[in-house]
Structure 1
Amino acid sequence: MNLSDEARVVTRSRILAALGLGAAAVVVAGCGGTGPPVGAGSGGPGVGGYNFSRLTCSAPGSLPGRTVTVMLADAGMMSMMNGPAPMGARMLLRAVPATVPAGQVSFVAENVGWRTHELVVLPLQPGYAAGRRVSGSDGKVDESGSLGEASASCAAGAGDGLASGTVGWISVTLPPGRYELVCNQPNHYIDGMRQELDVTSG
């Protein structure tokens, strides 16, 4: 399933609506182009406290299987902040759709935050809920069993992390089951960057 620019804007509008942000944010989070952040909200630059600057790159127009768009964001932080995020920082990871049929799935991760982010796809064991993983002393969760990672700026696969305003993508084959999408930069998981993805049998 291939997402056109128009479909990407619609997908972003659904994510923004889920966050309680208005339609004005959709224009700011539109595809392509560069430029300074637009708008301001409580807690920091951007819309509703998030930095919805225009993305500097985009995923290929045609990716295999179903496409899941994942928005990675942080709020109330300035672009000059360095080092690990503090625990309790306002961060989010939102995936649309949150349920897909089994088979090939392409994840398009869009970093509209100030900090470097990433997307890691982890299986959820039966009886475990998303958000219950325990972070180690490095602020990260165990990635054992990872099915893939989108952390290369403006490219596919793993890298050094998605810089602010960049997009990364990965295509994987998922059997039916429950998965957890996470950002595993230090303290980002505990600060809210995780979401369950359900994969159905048909």
Structure 2
Amino acid sequence: MNSLSRRGQIIIGTAAVILLTALSLVAVGVVGSLVNPGGTGFLSRTRCVAPNLPGPVVSVSLTNMGGPMMGPRNGMMGGAMRMTADRSTVAHGPVSFLVTNGGTISHELVILPLPSDQIAGTRPVAGDGTIDEAGSLAEASNTCAEGTGQGILPGASGWVTVTLPPGRYELVCNLPGHYAAGMYTQLTVN
């Protein structure tokens, strides 16, 4: 086989991979939009309007970099993940959490008490990639709605209001692998 035909094969193979990847992304976006007409596919992202929330509102941002998690890499799932809150302290009483998923996969927010001798991000992770949610005070995992659901879809928001006594709390995403990949932050209630 001469070098010209080998080069031609490489060019054709590369073009085929690019074309198939593009078609796959379009198909995922179209199918996602058809399955969930609110527009949760890649081509259009759901936009939610939260109601007027009581108490101080903590805006929480959920993100992941890279593509969908493809499996373990160095004990962690692929892609860096992050959870950030626009404030680290609030007054005790009713507190609302407005949670926005800026990533490319579903996420959630779970509110857990944080013992005084524990550091955020150090909870033991089980074999299924989750942490123990015993003692959870509330959850925002419902797309464009309040409370518990199947996860907040990319580009969407969810919210929850909970009455918090003074103390330390850990905000986490407890979908498999997300906590270990960095989806946690601390909140102090005075």
- TM-score scaled to structure 1, two decimals? 0.68
C-alpha contact (below 8 Å) 2:140/2:146 kept by paired residues: yes
Partner residue, 1:74: 64
Cα RMSD (Å) of the superposition?
A: 2.4
Partner residue, 2:86: 96
Partner residue, 2:108: 118
Amino acid in the other structure paired with 2:160: I
Partner residue, 1:108: 98
C-alpha contact (below 8 Å) 2:59/2:97 kept by paired residues: yes
Larger radius of gyration, structure 1 or 2? Answer: 2
CA distance in 1, matches of 2:96, 2:188: 14
CA distance in 1, matches of 2:72, 2:146: 25
What is the Cα deviation at residue 58 of structure 1? Answer: 2.5
CA distance in 1, matches of 2:135, 2:144: 25
C-alpha contact (below 8 Å) 2:45/2:154 kept by paired residues: no
2:181 aligned with 1:191, yes or no? yes
Gaps of 5+ in 1: 1-33, 38-52
Partner residue, 1:56: 47
Partner residue, 1:140: 130
Determine which of 160, 182, 186 is the counterpart of 2:172. 182
Partner residue, 1:26: none
2:158 aligned with 1:168, yes or no? yes
Gaps of 5+ in 2: 1-38
Change (3 A) 1:96 1:56: same
Aligned length: 150
C-alpha contact (below 8 Å) 1:178/1:199 kept by paired residues: yes
CA distance in 1, matches of 2:154, 2:54: 25
- Greater fraction helix: 2
2:137 aligned with 1:155, yes or no? no
Amino acid in the other structure paired with 1:120: V
CA distance in 2, matches of 1:55, 1:85: 29
Amino acid in the other structure paired with 1:147: L
CA distance in 2, matches of 1:64, 1:75: 32
- Give a deviation string over 1:126-182, Cα, whole Å, max 9, x none: 211101101101100000000000000000000001111110000000000000000
Amino acid in the other structure paired with 2:105: R
What is the Cα deviation at residue 56 of structure 1? Answer: 1.4
What is the Cα deviation at residue 99 of structure 1? Answer: 0.6
Percent identical:
48
Amino acid in the other structure paired with 2:108: E
Which consecutive segments of 4 or more residues in structure 1 shift more than 6 A?
A: 34-37, 82-85
Partner residue, 1:44: none
